[in-house]
């Protein structure tokens, strides 16, 4: 696997100096003061009243996944739509009032079956993949320009794909079963001042059987991922990608992006980003396929079949852990009910306090949010006054990023009450 690249940029040099400084300091400085570090934080985020009424006899989850609600999402919160039906929208119930938006592939009007809609990058067409990557890069580029100092603002972009693995009746089910990216900025001062979150919150962990990759299969998982042909990204030692302020992520496989934010402008990065997902999907399918039926043949749709056969399926430890899970499933109905037989993950790109741009992928299928992978629990409350005070500045930034996407030929603006003129 490649290490440091030749011809390091000035940005990379600054990142390395910051990282070294953080390594020497007992605690980082945020807003000119030292802060306690290494524990999860809980931030409070107000939201406006949602102007929707769930029809009698329907659960909120059932309604949120309906074509009618998703049409309303575009009408009430839409900012931009592309010919491919990517929809940029503001979050009705968001994570951060600093900057918070999402892009979803809104296929709801042409694919009525909620389980028939694309929920992962590998399910997109080649054109959709390129457009999705360009949109993501353009938004991240805007965020880095708007928030240039990594010691002041945490930036993240996260893709969630738990959707197709959850039954509609399951508590905590994701509300929209379509591929979508979240783009979020948190002021570091807000995180430093936030209360400690409960470290036993299950959403902060890859809990139960979902921690298998970390606690029981870490070595074989990392050996398996060595098949990836990476140039822009380099693997990081376990734990070295943690945010100082929260101490998360904890043990997830991580990769540093050469060139920092500038590295995201290379098409090669987005191909490698897709390859990380493909490797994860193969590992997940191979493992839970073995749990489900140890005598079954290898799946037909593997991306790295030779690696699956030689690194995973010829590994006695891999088989032994699968047997442990299989035996527990037979004996424990509550544990069995939590199993997600289809691949489920969260994949994120984030800029840490030292300016490093890092990619990580979760190993779970529980209902944690993108922010919780980084140790940030968001407590939301309906507060019209507080939201109204923050809304103009938030919308100003969302309209700026919308205009940048339009100028790049990435869709047409949708009208909002905040448009000038």
How much is the mean pLDDT over the chain? 83
For the ranges 18-32, 64-78, 398-412, the lowest mean pLDDT is seen at 18-32
Domain boundaries, the chain: 40-413
**Listed residue (290, 327, 269, 298) closest to 137, CA to CA:** 269
Q: How much is the pLDDT for 165? A: 55
CA distance 221 to 279: 10
**pLDDT tens across 313-348, in order?**
999 999 999 999 999 999 998 888 777 787 878 899
Averaged pLDDT for residues 283-298: 90
CA distance 84 to 259: 30
Q: How much is the pLDDT for 383? A: 86
**Listed residue (225, 335, 242) closest to 280, CA to CA:** 225
Maximum average pLDDT range among 31-35, 141-145, 383-387: 141-145
Averaged pLDDT for residues 133-161: 95
Q: How much is the pLDDT for 317? A: 94
CB 197 within 8 A of CB 204: yes
Q: How much is the pLDDT for 421? A: 55
Given a cut of 80, whether residue 392 has pLDDT beyond it is: yes
233: exposed, middle or buried (Cβ count in 10 Å: 0-12, 13-18, 19+): buried
Averaged pLDDT for residues 49-56: 78
Given a cut of 80, whether residue 369 has pLDDT beyond it is: no
Averaged pLDDT for residues 26-44: 67
11: confidence class by pLDDT, cuts 50, 70, 90:
very low
- The larger pLDDT score, comparing residue 166 to residue 143, is at 143
Q: How much is the pLDDT for 201? A: 81
CA distance 398 to 134: 17
CA distance 144 to 148: 5
171: confidence class by pLDDT, cuts 50, 70, 90:
low
Given a cut of 60, whether residue 27 has pLDDT beyond it is: no
- The larger pLDDT score, comparing residue 140 to residue 346, is at 140
Given a cut of 70, whether residue 210 has pLDDT beyond it is: no
pTM of the model: 0.86
Averaged pLDDT for residues 237-256: 87
Q: How much is the pLDDT for 29? A: 53
Q: How much is the pLDDT for 10? A: 47
**pLDDT tens across 66-108, in order?**
777 777 778 888 999 999 999 999 988 889 999 999 999 988 8
Given a cut of 60, whether residue 290 has pLDDT beyond it is: yes
Percentage of residues in the chain having pLDDT higher than 70: 83
Q: How much is the pLDDT for 23? A: 41
7: confidence class by pLDDT, cuts 50, 70, 90:
very low
164: confidence class by pLDDT, cuts 50, 70, 90:
low
Given a cut of 60, whether residue 34 has pLDDT beyond it is: no
Averaged pLDDT for residues 130-155: 97
């Amino acid at each position: 696997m490649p290490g440091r690249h030749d011809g390091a940029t000035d940005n990379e040099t600054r990142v390395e100096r910051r990282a070294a400084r953080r390594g020497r300091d007992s605690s980082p400085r945020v807003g000119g003061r030292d802060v306690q570090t290494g524990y999860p934080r809980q931030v409070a985020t107000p939201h406006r009243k949602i102007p929707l009424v769930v029809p009698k006899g329907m659960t909120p989850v059932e309604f949120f996944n309906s074509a009618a609600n998703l049409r309303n999402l575009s009408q009430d919160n839409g900012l931009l739509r592309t010919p491919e039906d990517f929809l940029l929208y503001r979050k009705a119930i968001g994570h951060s009032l600093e900057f918070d938006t999402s892009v979803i592939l809104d296929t709801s009007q042409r694919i009525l079956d909620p389980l028939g809609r694309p929920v992962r990058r590998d399910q997109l067409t080649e054109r959709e993949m390129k457009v999705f990557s360009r949109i993501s890069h353009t938004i991240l580029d805007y965020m880095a320009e708007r928030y240039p100092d990594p010691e002041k603002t945490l930036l993240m972009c996260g893709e969630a794909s738990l959707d197709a693995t959850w039954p509609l009746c399951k508590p905590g089910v994701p509300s929209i079963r379509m591929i979508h990216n979240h783009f979020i900025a948190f002021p570091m001062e807000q995180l430093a001042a936030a209360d400690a979150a409960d470290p036993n919150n299950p959403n902060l962990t890859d809990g139960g059987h979902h921690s298998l990759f970390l606690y029981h299969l870490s070595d074989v998982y990392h050996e398996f991922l060595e098949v990836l042909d990476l140039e822009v990204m380099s693997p990081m030692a376990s734990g070295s990608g943690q945010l100082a302020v929260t101490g998360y992520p904890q043990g997830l496989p991580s990769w540093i992006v050469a060139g920092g934010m500038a590295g995201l402008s290379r098409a090669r990065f987005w191909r490698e980003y897709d390859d990380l997902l493909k490797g994860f999907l193969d590992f997940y399918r191979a493992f839970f396929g073995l749990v489900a039926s140890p005598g079954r043949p290898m799946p037909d749709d593997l991306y790295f079949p030779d690696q699956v056969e030689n690194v995973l399926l010829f590994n006695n430890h891999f088989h032994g852990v699968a047997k442990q899970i299989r035996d527990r499933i037979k004996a424990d109905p509550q544990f069995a009910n939590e199993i997600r037989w289809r691949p489920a993950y969260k994949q994120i790109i984030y800029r840490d306090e030292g300016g490093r741009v890092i990619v990580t992928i979760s190993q779970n299928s529980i209902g944690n949010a993108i922010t919780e992978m980084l140790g940030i629990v968001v407590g939301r409350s309906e507060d019209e006054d507080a939201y109204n005070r923050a809304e103009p500045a938030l919308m100003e930034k969302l309209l700026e990023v919308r205009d940048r996407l339009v100028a790049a030929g990435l869709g047409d603006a949708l009208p909002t009450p905040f448009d000038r003129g």
